[in-house]
Structure 1
Amino acid sequence: MDLPKALLEPPWARKPAPAPSGDEPIIVPGLVPPDDRAVVWEPGEREEWAAVRPFGSWQDGDWEKAAEEFRDGRMGYEPTRAGFLAQAPEHLARPLLAGWEPHVTWDFDHSLRPIVARFETAAWDVSVRLAKQNPYGTGPVVMPFLSADVARMVADWLHRLKSAQKLAHAWFDRHALAAVPYLVPDALGKRVGPRRGAVKALRTIEGDVVGAARVHGDEAAEAVARLLAAAPAGAAPVEPPIRAPSLPRWLDADALPRPVLREGGELPRDAARNLLLALTVSPGARLDATAVVDGAAQVCEPESLTALVWAQFEAWQAAGMPKGSGFVLSALGRFGDDVVVRRLAPLAKEWPGRSGGYSSAVQGLEALVDIGTDLALTHLNGIAQKSRYKGLRGEAQRKLARIAERRGLTPGQLADRLVPDFGLDADGTLTLDYGPRRFVVSFDEQLRPQVADEGGTRRKALPKPGAKDDPDLAPAAHRRFAELRKDVRAVASAEVARLESAMVAGRAWTRDEFGAFLVAHPLMWHLARRLVWLAGDRAFRLAEDRTFADLDDETVEPAASADVRIAHPLLLGDSLAAWSQVFADYEILQPFPQLGRPVHTLADGAGGGLERFEGLTVPTGRFLGLTRTAWKRGAPQDNGIEHWISCTLAPGVTVVVDLSPGIAVGLVDLNPVQTIERVWIGAVPGAPSSAIENGLAGVDPVLVSELLADLTRLTATY
């Protein structure tokens, strides 16, 4: 078969075309661009940017103390610093903005937008610097900016970066003729790089470009007219020579499996090497190798490309995961499948625990995002909820938040859509065909698979294929069960934890969402039917036929407009005992404690009874265990000691537990036992001056109950 030209003649192997006569430089010396800076807003745009909620959000509190932490570096997480600048009092934030030099390479546009809307030109330098570092991710923040430095930067993107073409065109479409005076000195100047970008930009702008250039004089305007006449609009200037990519020393190209062509045979050796070289080229680089990779995808069997990039990944692992090899994980993102997801996700979860492994773990998360299947995003969601590494957990959460934002969803709504159905039947089961016999797989309250024969008799495990079974069907069915068990195990605990968190937080589903993602979903159905739900003030469970049943097993139909939530036992009131009896009669086991969950209320008095926990001695490990939920460790103080943990229940309402001697950062076993010195309620952890006199009055009773349950378990004796 004929191979795509890009596979046989990659861009680095082509000789540069000779310069057309129309691209001869036209020099007018001595021109200087305007030195002003302007922020040009579209109608309503500034208000829209100002309303963006940064990833690092703040609540009113001890701003002076937070500003001190910002200045001395204790507030080290950049999205948190961005959130502070967006929301702190201006007299504190503005001086700190001037010296802020964040070092980030990921998408920071979201966090910068409210800062630009608030401070405009005061946020100019940091915005432009970050846009230069990452045009694709952070570049959109300079859209309102108009100046010589921004015009030169965007013109360079237009000339050099394929990944920023859409953004560059949007910037020049927006500022149009107003950008021309800033471009003309470069377009008619001696410096080759700025001249190429400016000339291409001038040829891109529509309208009377020559007239707009006349602010620099008639000679400059006539020179611009000659430039525009020398080549049609959009004509590309001469490209500088391109350096060919190279393979790393640890990668033996001949040891990797050759991709298989769709029409039979293997990809020729030279073309296969070109593909490997193209995979090493970073997206957005001046050398655009996209056509080579796309050409391989067009003519090769997908499974063989997956095998190639996985073999490359294994070679990278065997070499000790050398740095500067991010292309390996990017290749998995390009050609990976669900088999790769099952192998990659467990590794990425553990990489932060090894020296230098955190950056590889983040790139592994990017690969899961790029693979983009339901299973990949489900694993990403699991890492976001349960990773033992706080940084990786936060990175996964931010990636999911950006995915949700692009889809116009909340993180919870996105999580609903990420639960795979694993090919289960509509009734939530899977039939495995061995030929002469069949087995039915269902799931228990923890989503553990249960196997029964066609007659309904439970079996301890799925039997191995026997001599009388079909030699093709039986082994395939056995492998299908093994994959299903592994896949469901990966999501089960995360989904159970997600529903429990939804009950505590009071998350509500619309009737349509409840029906689509819980009642009708073949896997989530197994959990949903084991819980009591509320629609308005009406409690119900899901009967076997998926109808809504009340305490008397009568069918109920709540109003279509009523949102549905998981009933916390505190909300069931006097009917709690009756519902417990119904579930006992039907022998319904619950995925997490709901009906049998301890319920706590505040004692009378200003402190609500929290003082009863003071003076108690608790192993440090129990406090660390609390941080797997909504509790957070305090900021390190002198000698790296954390003297409190806290839990925010509502905006401006935080419960703080003061500890002695405190938890040592990086050496948690140094002080194996902690004494609870004080339990208090304030607006800001670590700031006793922010204590709230009325305590937890007005806070959701469910959240208060869960808080008291946490403290009760924390201080219980065993």
Structure 2
Amino acid sequence: MMAGAGHEALLIEVAARYQQPAVLVALRAMLNQDPLDLFPAKFGAAPAFWTPHSWTRPRLASNGKALPDAALDALGAMLRFPQTEGVYAGLDQVRQACTPACLTAFAWELFCEWQEDGMDSKENWVFNALRVFGDDDVARKLTALIRSWPGAGQHARAVAGLDVLAAIGTDTAMLLLNGIAHRVKFKGLQESAREKIRQIAEARNMTAEELEDRIVPDLGLDDDGALLLDFGPRQFRVGFDETLKPYVRDQDGARLAELPKPKPGDDAELARAAAERYKLLKKDARAIAAQQVLRLEVAMCARRRWQTVVFNTFLAGHPLVRHLVQRLVWGVYVDGRLESCVRVDPDGGFTNAGDDAYALGTGDDVRIGVVHLLEMPAADVAAFGQLFADYELMQPFAQLGRDTYALTSAELASDRLQRWDGVVVPTGRVLGLTNRGWRRGRTQEHSYAWEFTKACDDGRLVELSITPGIMLTLTDEHDEQTLKQVSFGSTGRHGRVDKSAPLAALDPIAASELIRDLQWLGA
């Protein structure tokens, strides 16, 4: 481990202090050991559900030949090796030698057999096959199970599933992992997913928000954010609306309700492949859309800013996210001050409120962010509203037409917001606060949660109390919740408001968004 971390020279230096040649010889023998020889002397026998001869058989990429029975048994043995110190080198060789599709199918069928056999925790090595051979399709299917397992008392199994998503490591797998971190009804699983995202981000030397920028799949779209579906004589171009829902246009540019059925003159094979591609695209886009819309809205409320190069690469230039970016008004900030409001046109350029080209500065002091309505000059609000109407651009969330609010003078002097004390609201609506940047508070006896909290950008916290509370293992036990006080202050050790602070410390945007959330809650 130390040598692998770059400390081999130090190890040799320390060994030399013994002034015994045998010590250096032994150390070098250890460091030069063949990775294929690093396996346990004893490991478990194959379980009863190990019946690989009836599964999709791995095939060599070089000649398409299927692996013989003896090789399958060797593969099973390698999968049962502990992976505490990393993937066994032999599995990497298998992955390089065989076609990815057949290995993935083999791994999933092994996993399904384990499920059918009762998922004995002693045979959790089955996850190793998904870690090593899993792909985006495995990640999608596994995510559905991960989300359901805690409800069946299988929290540990769900956490092991998070490790598999992290090991698969594709953009789609990371996006699905991030989705669990942001939205799942089991708080313990959500916290585990958030910690996993934090670890991955830390390993890549970035923040969780920066990681989120980089893990959005492009879904195979071209540089213009479109996709051509080929039927042979006919082609259809895929676009996306303000919710990232895909649609198709025919060769004349007419928008169609759905991808047409093949005609007798079409190439049947191409048409079938195009239909499958569109079906998968719709499924993936649906999984991505809610996350990305929420991410940009939260970024607006939290006033997150991007460097120009990062914005152009991961937002305006991203094949999928660009469809949201082009439907929003962006602020150009210089030294933290709003210099201009702009929009991004289909070519990736910037235009101002007069629809004239805008030259974006490239200095280190320039940042770009989704501008909040309270920051925008009234003239820009009207001008961009007209531009978006002229171009028939619907916004992914309320920006130009956003409701804004302000605290009263009495509220500014208080540390509590009491407008909604005693208001009764549906429990489902309270749970919906998690889609607006709120988090459930720490669960207490009987897995009840009585608080929801929202972090402010200065490190302080807003806390909403409810009664009778929400039992997270049975969220429909109470149909309604009574809202209690809304507190504001510093964060305590249990993630609750500790030392209170006057609401006047909230900036106007944070105060407006807080009132807007509660107004929505009590609507």
Q: TM-score range by the shorter chain?
A: 0.7 to 0.9
Q: 1:661-700 CA distances to partner (integer Å, 9 max, x unpaired)?
A: 55556555565544444333333579888332xx123433
Aligned to 2:52: 253
With over 3 angstroms needed to count, the CA separation of the structure-2 counterparts of 1:169 and 1:554, relative to structure 1, is closer
Match in the other structure for 1:200: none
**Post-superposition shift, 1:270?**
0.8
1:201-600 paired onto structure 2 within 5 Å: 205-209=14-18, 228=23, 233-235=27-29, 242-261=41-60, 262-284=62-84, 290-356=88-154, 358-536=155-333, 537=338, 538-561=340-363, 562-575=366-379, 576-600=381-405
Q: What SS does the aligned partner of 1:690 have?
A: strand
Deviation at 1:587, TM superposition (A): 1.9
Q: Distance in 2 between matches of 1:652 and 1:518?
A: 27
- Read off the aligned partner of 1:613 and give its amino acid letter: W
**Quick one: which amino acid aligns to residue 351 of structure 2?**
A
Q: Is the 8 A contact 1:652 1:682 kept in 2?
A: no
For residue 384 of structure 2, what is the amino acid of its counterpart?
W
Structure 1 residue 422, shift from structure 2 partner: 1.7
Deviations 1:416-467 (A, max 9, x none): 2111222212221111111111111111111111111111112111122232
Shift in Å at residue 638 of structure 1?
7.3
CA distance in 2 between counterparts of 1:450 and 1:349 reads 29
Q: Is the 8 A contact 1:602 1:609 kept in 2?
A: no
Residues 38-187 of structure 1 mapped to structure 2, 5 A cutoff? 164=1, 166=3, 170=7
For 1:598 and 1:416, locate their aligned partners in 2 and report how far apart those are by CA, in whole Å: 27
**Which sits farther off after the overlay, 450-459 or 611-620?**
611-620
Is the Cα–Cα contact under 8 Å of residues 298 and 437 in structure 2 kept in the other structure?
A: no
Post-superposition offset of 1:408: 1.9
CA distance in 2, matches of 1:489, 1:652: 33
Which has the greater radius of gyration?
Answer: 1
Unaligned runs of 5+ in 2: none
- Of 503, 506, 509 in structure 2, the residue corresponding to residue 696 of structure 1 is 503
Do 1:532 and 1:541's aligned partners in 2 also have CA atoms closer than 8 Å? yes
Q: 1:459 to 1:277 in 2, by over 3 A?
A: same
Distance 2:290 2:480 in 1: 30
Larger strand share, 1 or 2: 2
Mean CA deviation greater in 417-426 or 496-505: 417-426
Structure 2 Cα separation of the partners of residues 660 and 388 of structure 1: 18
Aligned partners of 2:474, 2:105: CA distance in 1, in Å? 43
Q: Measured at CA, do residues 475 and 271 of structure 1 come closer, stay the same or move farther in structure 2, by a change above 3 Å?
A: same
Gap change, CA 1:564 and 1:296, over 3 Å in 2: same
Q: C-alpha root-mean-square deviation of aligned residues, in Å?
A: 3.1
Going from structure 1 to structure 2, the CA distance change for 1:543 and 1:263 (only over 3 Å counts) comes to closer
Separation in 2 of the partners of 1:264 and 1:659?
62
Query: Do residues 705 (structure 1) and 512 (structure 2) align?
Result: yes
- Residues 34-65 of structure 1: per-residue CA shift (max 9 Å, x gap): xxxxxxxxxxxxxxxxxxxxxxxxxxxxxxxx
SS across alignment from 1:577: helix
Secondary structure at the aligned position of 2:210 is classed as helix
Q: Which amino acid aligns with 2:521?
A: L
Question: Which letter maps to 2:49?
Answer: W
Name the SS for the 1:563 alignment partner.
strand
- Report how far residue 235 of structure 1 moved: 3.8
What is the CA-CA distance between 1:479 and the residue it aligns to?
A: 1.6
| Offset from partner CA, 1:456-493 (integer Å, 9 cap, x none) | 11211112223211133222222221222222222111
TM superposition shift of 1:302: 2.5
Change (3 A) 1:663 1:369: closer
Equivalent residue pairs, number:
505
State the one-letter code of the partner of 2:18.
Answer: V
Measure, in 1, the Cα distance between the counterparts of 2:42 and 2:361.
67
> Runs of 5+ in structure 1 lacking a partner?
1-163, 177-202, 211-224
Aligned partner letter, 2:349: T
* Partner AA of 2:28 in structure 1: G
Code of the aligned partner of 1:334: V
Cα pair 1:541 1:548 within 8 Å, conserved = yes
CA drift of 1:310 comes to 1.6
Q: CA deviation at 1:234?
A: 3.1
Identity %: 38
Per mean C-alpha deviation after superposition, the further-off stretch among 304-313 and 625-634 is 625-634
SS state at 1:425 partner: coil
Q: Is the 8 A contact 1:644 1:658 kept in 2?
A: yes
